[in-house]
Amino acid sequence: MPEESDEPRLEVWERRTDLPLTVVGLVYLAVYAVQVLAFRSSDPEWFALDVALWVVWAIFVVDFLGRLVLARRTWRFVAHHPFDLLVVVAPFFRFLRLLRLVTVVTSLARVLRDDFRGRVASYLTVSTSLVGFVAALAVYEAERDAPDASITSFGEAAWWVLTTITTVGYGDRYPVTTEGRLVAAGLMLGGIAILGTVTAAIATWFLEQIGARDVAEALHPDEPSETELLLAEIRALRARLDTLESARSPSLPALEARNATPSD
CB-based contacts of 74: which residues, under 8 Å, 6+ apart? 68
Confidence class for position 145, pLDDT limits 50, 70, 90: confident
DSSP string of 56-123, one letter each residue = HHHHHHHHHHHHHHH-SSHHHHHHT-HHHHHHHHGGGSGGGGGGGGHHHHHHHHHHHHHHSTT-HHHH
Q: What angle do CA 260, 262, 264 make, to 5 degrees?
A: 155
CATH topology of domain 119-205: Helix Hairpins (1.10.287)
**In the chain, what is the straight-line distance between the N-terminal and C-terminal CA atoms, in Å?**
98
Confidence class for position 155, pLDDT limits 50, 70, 90: very high
**178 pLDDT higher than 90:** no
Contacts 24+ apart (CB under 8 A), 51-55: 53/28, 53/100
Residue ranges per structural domain of the chain: 1-115, 119-205
What confidence score (pLDDT) does residue 109 get? 54
Q: Are 259 and 250 in contact (CB under 8 A)?
A: no
pTM of the model: 0.63
**243 pLDDT higher than 70:** yes
Per-residue pLDDT of 78-102, as tens digits, reads 887 777 777 677 655 544 455 555 5
CA 119, 122, 128, 131 dihedral sign is negative
CB-based contacts of 111: which residues, under 8 Å, 6+ apart? 18, 19, 22
Lowest mean pLDDT, pick from 59-63, 187-191, 211-215 = 211-215
